[in-house]
Structure 1
Amino acid sequence: MNDPIAPRRHRQPRGTATERLSLREVRALATAVLRHHGFSDPHVEAVADTLVAGERDGCASHGLYRLLGCIATLRAGKVSPDAMPKLHEMAPALLRVDAMRGFSQVAYKTALPYLIGKARSQGIAALGINRCVHFSALWADIEPLTDAGLVALACTPSHAWVTPAGGSKPLFGTNPLAFGWPRAGQPAFIFDFATSTVARGEIELHRRAGKPIPEGWGIDADGKSCTDAATVLDHGAMLTFGGHKGAALAAMVELLAGPLIADMTSMDSLAYDAGTKSSPMGGELIIAIDPARFLGAQCEAELARAESLFEAMLGQGARLPSQRRYRAREASLRHGVLIPRALYDDAVALLPRGAA
């Protein structure tokens, strides 16, 4: 495909802060950069899908910005650009896939049809992704399962960036937890949140923009509240949401997607990183449940009862998780997305001179 990397005829004056790109152009840029740096076609396609999805859904911290980290991780020797995942069937309802130190996306795509098949035949199935480099939002792993009519959960550790409640030193990762519930004729009910107060990418974007972070996001090296993004990222620690409750959930994620699937904790991942500031290495646990197998003849009625819950939430003026993301998706499909000029320039700089 010879899509243009940048919409030159539509580019704004150099002094403006953003570039408007179509999703096709975002994909072309991501694909060109990944291919230039030697990623194999399966990894180029799968990683580009993730980056485009992040921009499409208004999740800038997991969009094109992550392309810079992908290349930095490759240059540090912390990810394989052409890894071929190996799938292992552990039991009738259990799968593990070894990502072979590649990004998680290709390993997940390899295992996904088997996970869906096992969930439908057994009623519930679990997949452990091992030895994967992980940078993406978990909703991207949940959506294919809800699209298949399954209930789904996923979690993964990261690097040790987050202090436990009452602590002052990094121990946990941001340790996201995601859940999805299928809805007939409507977008799925999906939430995906870090067990830290905010995703680390949000703090990184504040640092890039030279903006202070809100109180409660992080602490400095002395354990004191800090609003300087660079200090929190480089010398301090992030905080869990909800104090001890968020810390307990973060510990649960460490256990489920670490020792339970024989993979790294966030402390292990940070040690493996050895100061390169690469994307985290470790595991991911995904559980898929088939409501039709669980409920049998009651399935239709119980799914309707679930809809009454969603209607009651909306009836009080609440917003369902992912509603903002779905609205952003509709808008970006029509109008494209705005990319900070500095980020666009950094991404283009990863191409050979004169390629853009």
Structure 2
Amino acid sequence: MGVFENEETVALPIHEVFALSCRVLTGAGLSTAHAEAVARALTAGERDECASHGLYRLPGCVMTMRSGKMSLDAEPVIEDVSPALVRADAGHAYSLLAFERAAPLLVEKAKAVGVAALVINNCFHFSALWPEIEHLTGMGVAALAMTPSHSWVAPAGGKRGLLGTNPIAFGWPRPGAQPYVFDFATSAVARGDMSLHDIAGKPIPEGWGVDAEGRPTTSARAALDGAMLTFGGHKGSALSTMIELMAGPLIGDLTSRESMAFDDGTKAAPMHGELILAFDPAIMGGGDPAANAARAEALFSAFADQGARLPSERRYAARARSLERGVRTPKVLYDQILALGL
């Protein structure tokens, strides 16, 4: 459980994580369809020992629902824009149901023309991107996803929040094996991980953030009140800016700074857009998908040959453990969830 590893915990089977999430979300007013989509993402995070994207997010989801900013029951409007473009208007609801409803058409288009894009507009976003990526690789396509957030992150050389944590994720389907997937924030760390350090009273490494005066800090609280930093200095800053543009103005939606302005102090989840690209290896690979898949597998094997770990292997190992034994969540978090009004 990361920073909570020494705390008292509660054992939960995976199915109860999903059921608990659904009870809390529907009890707070979220429609069943939205609640189940959100619960699937929360359960995936908890199952794969990604604590910052599991049950830890549930109280924040309820707070967002009670902010008065979001729709609790909007039906996504799916638009077939062109042979290679799908647009889903989430209607100021969570993004996940819009993604699930639009994904089949996205994959159909990718397999027809080689590459296709899904634009999700007007969506509240709180979740990791890798569950969406795994959903698409499971349908036989490679995929790339990106989204802005709130302007919590200072650009390289800056002192104040301007960019979002701006995650980017990619997945490659593998015949007979779990897909290759990476998902990371372009900030030095995900904001949820920073918050977990704050809750646990643990210091953060230098380089994660600056305080309100722009000074380097090892205090998670000071960095949360000041500004987070990008990973890799100017390189992470440039990549984050690309995501702002591609998942903001390019798709007709908000930047992280505009999302923060829309929030207006309610501290809800970010509200903006998301861009997802799907690639069909059979078409793009020139007609010999088996040879190209073998080429990819040779690359992955070369990692193992020198003892290197592929991204997502840790999650898959955690998933196997959780499916067999269930998960353990901090009792303080479990009690907080129960107090939400079940």
Instruction: State the TM-score, normalizing by the size of structure 2.
Output: 0.97
Residue type of the partner of 2:228?
M
How many angstroms apart in 1 are the aligned matches of 2:205 and 2:54? Answer: 22
CA–CA distance in 1 between the matches of 2:228 and 2:58?
Answer: 23
Match of 2:267 in 1: 277
Q: Which residue of 2 aligns with 1:191?
A: 182
Q: Which residue is 2:330 aligned to?
A: 340
State the 1:294 CA deviation: 1.4
Quote the residue 2:154 is aligned against: 163
Q: Contact conserved, 2:169 with 2:184, CA < 8 A, in 1? A: yes
1:249-279: per-residue Cα shift (whole Å, max 9, x none)? 0000000000000000000000001011110
Q: Residue in 1 aligned with 2:287?
A: 297
Letter in 2 for 1:294: M
1:206-355 superposed matches below 5 A: 206-234=197-225, 236-352=226-342
How far 1:16 moved relative to its partner?
6.2
Aligned counterpart for 2:52 among listed residues 57, 61, 64: 61
Matched, 1:131 2:122: yes
Q: Distance in 2 between matches of 1:119 and 1:267?
A: 32
Q: Which residue of 2 aligns with 1:140?
A: 131
> Matched residues, percent identical?
58
Measure the CA separation in 1 of the matches of 2:174 and 2:126. 27
Does 2:80 align with 1:86?
Answer: no
Partner amino acid, structure 1, of 2:304:
L
Task: Give the Cα separation in 1 of the matches to 2:82 and 2:19.
Answer: 41
SS in 2 for 1:106: helix
Deviations 1:52-105 (A, max 9, x none): 000001111000011111100111112211011101122110111000000001
Partners in 2 of 1:297 and 1:140 — Cα distance? 29
Whether the aligned pair in 2 keeps the contact of 1:32 and 1:351 (CA below 8 Å) is no
Question: Aligned in 2, Cα 1:16/1:269: closer, same or farther, shift over 3 Å?
Answer: closer
Question: Which runs of no fewer than 5 residues in structure 1 stay unpaired?
Answer: 1-14
Give secondary structure in 2 for the equivalent of 1:308.
Answer: helix
2:28 aligned residue: 37
Amino acid in structure 1 at the alignment position of 2:307: G
Query: In 2, Cα distance between the equivalents of 1:149 and 1:36?
Result: 36
Comparing 153-162 with 335-344, greater Cα deviation is found at 335-344
CA contact (8 A) 2:247 2:274 kept: yes
Supply the distance in 1 between the matched residues of 2:85 and 2:20 (Cα, whole angstroms): 37
**d(CA) in 1 for partners of 2:238, 2:262:** 24
Q: Retained in 1: the 8 A contact 2:7–2:330?
A: no
Determine if contact 1:93/1:126 at 8 Å carries over to the other structure.
yes
Distance in 1 (CA, whole Å) between partners of 2:282 and 2:18 is 37
In structure 1, what is the Cα distance between the partners aligned to 2:274 and 2:75?
17
> Which residue type is aligned with residue 13 of structure 2?
S
Q: Which amino acid aligns with 1:258?
A: G
SS of the aligned residue for 2:86 comes to strand
* Distance in 1 of aligned mates of 2:341 and 2:212: 37
Q: Distance in 2 between matches of 1:187 and 1:32?
A: 31
1:162, 1:171 within 8 Å by CA — same for their partners in 2?
yes
Helix, strand or coil at the partner of 1:247: helix
C-alpha displacement at 1:297, in angstroms? 2.9
Match of 1:98 among 71, 89, 94: 89
Tell me if the contact between 1:159 and 1:270 (Cα under 8 Å) persists in the aligned partners: yes
CA distance in 1, matches of 2:310, 2:70: 36
Letter paired with 2:82: A
Distance in 2 of aligned mates of 1:297 and 1:99: 36
Report SS of the residue matched to 1:101: strand
1:181-238: per-residue Cα shift (whole Å, max 9, x none)?
Answer: 110000000000000000000011111112111111110012111111111112x100
CA distance in 2 between counterparts of 1:93 and 1:29 reads 38
Moved over 6 A (4+): none
Number of matched residues? 337
What is the Cα deviation at residue 351 of structure 1? 2.2
Q: Residues 16 and 145 (structure 1 numbering): CA distance in 2 closer, same or farther, change over 3 Å?
A: closer
Q: In 2, distance between residues paired with 1:183 and 1:311? A: 12
SS of the counterpart of 1:178?
strand
Match of 1:6 in 2: none
Counterpart CA distance in 2 for 1:344 and 1:60 is 13
SS of residue in 2 equivalent to 1:215: coil
Distance (Å, rounded) in 1 between the aligned partners of 2:205 and 2:83: 47
SS at match of 1:118: helix
